[in-house]
């Protein structure tokens, strides 16, 4: 490389011929260096190039500043004259044309009338005088009263002829600009003259005031320009090292000598691609013609690749080009990176002898790159099959032409491998797709003599350098192995996939394009690749096993089928998360009175703990729903339960606490078509009305379960028949790429486009989700049904024992209308006991209601909040068998509370 000489080297050159040359600096930096200020003053003294440039620029700037000041002063004075003329003319014409001026001139005493007006106009117009005169030039007005009646000093002849006169004169009040204008009568005749004037001193005073400011600005500009010039000269001083013209000439000659003496070729090419400079070594290496300078590099007879590189000006580092019989290492850098001229500098070095060594280094580098890529590219997912595919894809075509991976079936399923069983081809990659190797998915049982079987048995690599002579491999499948050989595959390396003491399968690397077999270094590289992949495959296997266990647990905790009920037509979907299992759950719970409860919940987090917590909460909801509580009370009990779980499972116990859970609980009554909803930190439900409009119900948002301290609220609304109530978890509307508001709008659009049935709605909603979402998704779509009035019968019962027989008779008639005579006897017994208890122990009002749904439901309501309980009477007791008899005759029975009392109900199966 060519190095330009610095100032120190130049001083050494100067020392031999100049007795004034300074001494070189000492090694410790304390030698006799010239002081910085003294060096700058000496450099700017005029002997150096920087000093000459500084003096020249300061002179030019000084001339420019002086010229600007003179021009500005002249311009200001010219503007002052123009301003004086314009102002005097405007005031004179205004006064001449003012109303009453003509009449005053024709009056008996013009001075008495016009003098006050002229003085007022003079002051208002900011002029020095306004003189009104007759046609003979005798003044009627003047600022000085002693001048009135005297003859006007100035030219008035053109004004008498109807013209305007503007002249510069030295009047009695000094140099001034005065204007004379005629005063015309209505018939156009001139009846007098008006003159107005102003001294230039009054108008030019502003210019005189501006002159010091102008001079100060000029001085500041001169100072700034001088400072800027000093900075430029200082930079030039640094770049030229304070050298003078003679010294720079000597330095150029010295550098030119060095340039042609180095043993590296040096080329300088302009931005247009023309050769500006080439030293002797460049001429020799490239065999350039004598007149190469100033010619385009594409015209120098070089090969296309080298000429293209020189003409492009792009950055090149040790780029090897074959130029005739030489291998040249070319380095090229642009010259305009730091503000230089466009172009490039190129150095050439003969590297023919280094070719073989660099080739081996390149192979080693490629192998290191492959190992690095294996570390970051294999095992990107916890999927056994995908990890095997990543190994095969990495090896082709950088290491082998074809690569296959065969694993035991148990490994793919997440279990421990079982030696001696067949393997399954899990991955296959190649430079072409028509290779006659076993396809992916094929179960293979290798014969004992095959390289794969020997590798599995011995736990080490097996190399087959010539497959057409490998009898053990040929015995595997005579027809297929013959096809493989005819296809051109001639060499094989089989490496076992070992993870600790387990052998998971084998990896096979096949070669067809390169004629040489695999050498020892390549076998070692294959073993390293497979060892890294085996760890990732084993991790994926273990994850598959644990994930399968978690999924099995989770699915066992979710409802496997929906209970039979007639209030809602329901469809549901559950999608597990892409990674891990979550704590989302849902349920459909039949309640008394043909009502149905819908519940959707979500436990924060993933894994076995989230699934187990979900099962506990779902069980608790089942138990709490049996109490027939309103939604807000049920959520309050669930919140208390979660709080107790958090207190019991402390981190000191080694168990993960519940970090949060949400829940939405809704109860729908098909008789009244009313739905009561409460939620604890859960997204609001969506309602698709029969006309297709979609609304998100305004349900008060309670806190997530487990926080405590805040109450829950129930929202009640009436749903039209055929409405679709959509309950979901947050995985449906929220993920890392969008917030919940955007997800709710997407859900609204999907519901608008969905069909009428719940199944079609579920499909339309899930079609907008990815195949495997990042979070669990639980979705319930319930279309409301109504229990018609002809399937409901109600009676009010007086609080007297005689009313029991009337109720039995009315119920018998109603059952006959419903064609349920077979249930008349048991229904009479049940109602007799329930109504008798209500009359005896309760308080009014007492009501009876029959519901004909999938079952026959009998309900007796009263105003008491005392709940009856089942007793087991002794043989000697006369009473206490009423509820026991009801429990024996009915399939289910129970009590639920209302705001006005309670309802005791019993269900019987209909024939």
- Identify the H or E element spanning 179: strand 174-184
Residue 111: what pLDDT?
A: 87
What pLDDT shows up at residue 24? 43
Locus of tokens 């309103």: 630
Q: Look at residue 83 in the predicted model and tell me its pLDDT.
A: 81
Alpha-carbon span 424 to 412, nearest angstrom? 9
Q: What is the pLDDT of residue 635?
A: 92
Give φ, ψ of 382 to 5 degrees: -90, 50
**Exposed/middle/buried for residue 730 (C-beta within 10 Å: 0-12, 13-18, 19+):** buried
pLDDT of residue 291: 86
> What pLDDT shows up at residue 204?
55
Of 843, 838, 831, 853, residue with least CA distance to 906: 831
Beta carbons of 40 and 230 less than 8 angstroms apart: no
* Residue 231: HSE in the Cβ half-sphere, 13 Å Cα cutoff: 5
CA distance linking residue 511 with residue 430, whole number of Å: 10
Residues of the chain with pLDDT under 50: 1-40, 42-44, 652-656, 873-879
Q: Is the whole-model pTM more than 0.85?
A: no
CB-CB contact of 405 with 388 (8 Å): yes
- Quote the pLDDT of residue 128: 83
pLDDT given at position 59: 80
pLDDT in tens, 483-519: 999 999 999 999 999 988 899 999 999 999 888 899 8
Q: 369 in the Ramachandran plot: left (φ > 0), alpha (ψ -120 to 50) or beta? A: alpha
- pLDDT at position 659 is 61
């Amino acid at each position: 490389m060519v190095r330009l000489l610095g100032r120190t080297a130049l001083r050494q050159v100067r020392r031999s011929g100049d007795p004034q040359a300074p001494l070189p600096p000492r090694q410790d930096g304390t030698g006799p260096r010239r002081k910085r200020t003294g060096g700058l003053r000496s450099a700017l003294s005029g002997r150096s190039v920087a000093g000459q440039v500084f003096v020249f620029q300061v002179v030019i700037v000084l001339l420019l500043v002086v010229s600007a000041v003179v021009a500005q002063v002249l311009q200001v004075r010219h503007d002052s004259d123009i301003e004086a003329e314009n102002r005097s003319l405007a005031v004179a014409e205004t006064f001449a044309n003012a109303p009453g001026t003509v009449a005053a001139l024709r009056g008996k005493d013009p001075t008495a009338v016009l003098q006050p007006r002229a003085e007022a106009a003079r002051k208002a117009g900011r002029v020095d005088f306004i003189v009104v005169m007759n046609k003979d030039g005798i003044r009627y007005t003047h600022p000085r009263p002693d001048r009135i009646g005297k003859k006007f000093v100035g030219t008035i002849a053109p004004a008498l002829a109807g013209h305007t006169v503007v002249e510069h004169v030295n009047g009695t009040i000094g140099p001034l600009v005065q204007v004379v204008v005629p005063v015309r009568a209505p018939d156009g005749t001139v009846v007098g003259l008006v003159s107005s004037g102003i001294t230039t001193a009054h108008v030019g005073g502003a210019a005189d005031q501006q002159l010091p400011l102008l001079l100060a600005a000029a001085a500041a500009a001169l100072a700034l320009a001088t400072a800027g010039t000093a900075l430029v000269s200082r930079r030039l001083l640094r770049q030229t090292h304070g050298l003078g013209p003679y010294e720079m000439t000597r330095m150029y000659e010295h550098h030119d000598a060095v340039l042609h003496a180095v043993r590296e070729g040096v080329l300088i090419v302009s931005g247009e691609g023309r050769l500006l400079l080439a030293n002797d070594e460049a001429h020799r290496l490239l065999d350039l013609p004598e007149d190469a300078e100033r010619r385009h590099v594409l015209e120098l007879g070089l090969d296309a690749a080298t000429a293209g590189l020189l003409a492009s000006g792009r950055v090149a580092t040790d780029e090897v080009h074959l130029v005739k019989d030489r291998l040249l290492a070319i380095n090229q850098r642009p010259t305009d990176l730091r503000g230089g001229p466009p172009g490039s500098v190129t150095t050439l070095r003969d590297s023919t002898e280094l070719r073989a060594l660099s080739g081996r280094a390149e192979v080693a580098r490629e192998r290191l790159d492959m190992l690095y890529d294996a570390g970051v590219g294999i095992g990107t997912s916890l999927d056994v099959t995908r990890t095997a595919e990543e190994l095969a894809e990495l090896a082709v075509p950088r290491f082998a032409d074809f690569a296959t991976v065969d694993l035991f079936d148990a490994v793919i399923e997440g279990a421990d491998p079982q030696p001696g069983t067949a393997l399954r081809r899990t991955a296959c990659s190649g430079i072409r797709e028509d290779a006659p190797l076993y396809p992916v998915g094929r179960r293979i049982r290798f014969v004992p003599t095959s390289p794969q079987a020997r590798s599995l048995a011995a736990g080490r690599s097996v190399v087959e350098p010539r497959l057409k002579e490998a009898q053990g491999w040929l015995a595997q499948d005579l027809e297929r192995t013959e096809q493989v050989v005819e296809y051109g595959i001639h060499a094989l390396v089989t490496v076992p996939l070992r993870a600790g003491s387990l052998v998971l399968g084998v990896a096979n690397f096949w070669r067809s394009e390169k004629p040489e077999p695999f050498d020892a270094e390549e076998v070692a590289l294959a073993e390293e690749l497979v060892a890294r992949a085996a760890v990732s495959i084993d991790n994926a296997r273990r994850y598959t096993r644990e994930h399968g266990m978690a999924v099995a647990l989770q699915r066992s905790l979710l409802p496997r089928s929906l209970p039979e009920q007639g209030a809602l037509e329901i469809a549901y979907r559950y999608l597990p998360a892409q990674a891990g299992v979550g704590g989302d759950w849902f349920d459909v719970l039949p309640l008394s009175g043909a009502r149905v409860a819908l519940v959707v919940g979500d436990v924060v987090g993933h894994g076995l703990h989230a699934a187990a917590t979900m099962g506990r909460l779902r069980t608790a909801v089942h138990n709490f729903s049996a109490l027939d509580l309103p939604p807000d009370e049920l959520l309050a009990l669930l919140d208390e339960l979660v709080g107790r779980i958090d207190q019991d499972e402390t981190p000191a116990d080694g168990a993960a606490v519940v970090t949060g859970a949400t829940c939405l609980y809704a109860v729908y009554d098909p008789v009244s078509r009313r739905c009561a909803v409460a939620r604890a930190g859960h997204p609001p439900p969506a309602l698709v009305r029969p006309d297709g409009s979609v609304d998100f119900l305004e349900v008060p948002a309670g806190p997530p379960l487990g926080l405590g301290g805040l109450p829950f609220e129930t929202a009640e609304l009436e749903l039209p028949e055929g409405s679709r109530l959509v309950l979901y978890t947050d995985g449906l509307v929220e993920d890392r790429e969008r917030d919940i508001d955007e997800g709710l709008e997407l859900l609204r659009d999907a519901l608008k486009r969905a069909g009428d049935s719940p199944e079609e709605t579920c499909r339309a909603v899930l079609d907008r989700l990815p195949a495997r979402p990042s979070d669990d998704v639980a979705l319930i779509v319930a279309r409301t049904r109504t229990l018609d009035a002809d399937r409901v019968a109600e009676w009010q019962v007086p609080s007297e024992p005689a009313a029991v027989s009337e109720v039995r008779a009315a119920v018998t008639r109603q059952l006959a209308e419903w064609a349920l005579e077979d249930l008349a006897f048991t229904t009479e017994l049940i109602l007799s006991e329930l109504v008798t208890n209500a009359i005896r122990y309760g308080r009014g009002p007492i009501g009876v209601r029959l519901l004909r749904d999938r079952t026959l439901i009998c309900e007796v309501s009263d105003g008491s909040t005392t709940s009856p309980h089942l007793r087991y009477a002794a043989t000697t007791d006369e009473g206490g068998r009423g509820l026991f008899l009801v429990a024996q005759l009915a399939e289910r029975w129970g009590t639920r509370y209302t705001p006005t009392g309670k309802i005791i109900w019993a269900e019987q199966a209909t024939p």
